[in-house]
Amino acid sequence: MNSRQATMIVVATAYLAFAAPSLRAQNGSAADAAAIKQTVAMYTEGFNAHDPHAIASLFAEDADFTNLRGASRKGRADIQANFEALFNGALKAAARTDSVRNVRFFTPNLAQVDTDVTIAGARAPNGAENPLRKGLMSLIMNKQGGQWKIVVFHELDYPEPAAPAAK
């Protein structure tokens, strides 16, 4: 074996040892992707049933939550209390849809999820119905005890479409 062949073997071995596992981890398993999508579906179902406990159960104990308006909560108990207040107020008649657009695995137990969101029926503080909201829900999820839990939750509104230019 010459030095060029030896170098190629070392490079190939290094790739298989370091890069290939990382690439596999990013792909994740089909079963885990399905479980993540099921967790998102359970979030939507809990929201539409106005069930703060069902929603909170999907979060890690120390989760971070930031909603469409930028309000933040820390921890499962605070997230549940937040939804209890919202479902007795601004979100009493609200319904949402969530459509997963992307799941990206960083490791076999850590993933990022992007979901398109619509929320209808929410009320403003003065009681007037808010217009349909469209936005993005971005989650970091961690597999804990065989279940995918939300550890970071961020939502944001999509910008309003630009008004057509005056002629």
- 42-97: pLDDT as tens digits: 999 999 999 999 999 999 999 999 987 788 999 999 999 999 999 999 999 999 99
Contact 111, 32 (CB under 8 A): yes
pLDDT of residue 27: 62
Nearest to 108 by CA among 38, 35, 18, 27: 27
CA distance 135 to 74: 22
The CATH number that domain 28-157 falls under is: 3.10.450.50
Indicate whether 162 pLDDT > 80: no
pLDDT of residue 140: 98
pTM of the model: 0.80
Across-strand partners of 104? 112
pLDDT of residue 158: 87
- 10-52: pLDDT as tens digits: 333 333 334 434 444 456 789 999 999 999 999 999 999 999 9
- Give residue 6's pLDDT band: very low, low, confident or very high (50, 70, 90): very low
- Give residue 107's pLDDT band: very low, low, confident or very high (50, 70, 90): very high
In angstroms, how far is CA 58 from the centroid of its own chain? 11
Q: Where are the domains of the chain?
A: 28-157
Strand-strand pairing, 133-144 and 147-157: antiparallel
